[in-house]
């Protein structure tokens, strides 16, 4: 084998090894847990015989993709104040509607009507708990993803 061919083979092996190391390092930096961003809540109180509404939005990103988002609004002055909602309890609550935003990110929207009876029974601070689930099964749980007040 000529010296020129041997140097080419060695140089190619070094480049491939460097590219492989970079790929492994990049893959290791990607957190598999879903990430929440830009969470916001808007509460409208019922009035004049019309229902109000609770509207929550957030963006969820996960390297494997997002399979769903569960949402629970809970009053600060409740049993959850001492023992906040758990991820296991969140499995039974309502889901948000998620649509693709970009790459591995989805924009999720949760909307529910609020009746006058609902609003009159729980004045004060409220929190939004969310459970995001990635397609690979990893989850992210936040008991206070957003806050609002019922007056």
Report the predicted TM-score, pTM, of the whole model to 2 decimal places.
Answer: 0.77
The answer to whether the beta carbons of residues 98 and 107 sit under 8 Å apart is yes
Residue 69 makes CB contacts below 8 A (sequence gap 6+) with 58, 60, 95, 96, 98, 108, 110, 130, 131, 132, 133
Query: Can you say how many angstroms the Cα of residue 8 is from the centroid of all Cα atoms in its chain?
Result: 48
Nearest to 131 by CA among 108, 103, 104: 108
Instruction: Encode the chain (151 residues) as per-residue pLDDT tens digits.
Output: 554 443 344 434 433 444 444 444 444 445 689 999 999 999 999 999 899 999 999 999 999 999 999 999 999 888 777 788 999 999 899 999 999 999 999 999 999 999 988 877 778 999 999 999 999 999 999 999 999 999 8
């Amino acid at each position: 084998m000529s010296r020129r061919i041997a140097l080419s083979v060695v140089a190619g092996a070094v480049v491939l090894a460097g590219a492989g190391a970079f790929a492994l390092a990049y893959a290791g930096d990607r957190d598999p847990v879903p990430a929440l961003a830009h969470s916001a809540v808007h509460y409208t109180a019922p009035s004049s015989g019309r229902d109000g509404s609770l509207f929550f939005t957030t963006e969820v990103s996960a390297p494997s993709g997002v399979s769903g988002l569960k949402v629970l609004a809970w009053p600060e002055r409740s049993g959850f104040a001492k023992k906040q909602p758990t991820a296991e309890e969140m499995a039974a609550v309502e889901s948000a509607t998620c649509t693709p935003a970009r790459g591995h990110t989805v924009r999720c929207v949760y909307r529910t009507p609020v009746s006058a009876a609902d609003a009159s029974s729980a004045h004060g601070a409220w929190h939004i708990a969310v459970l995001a689930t990635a397609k690979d099964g990893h989850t992210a749980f936040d008991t206070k993803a957003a806050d609002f007040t019922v007056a």
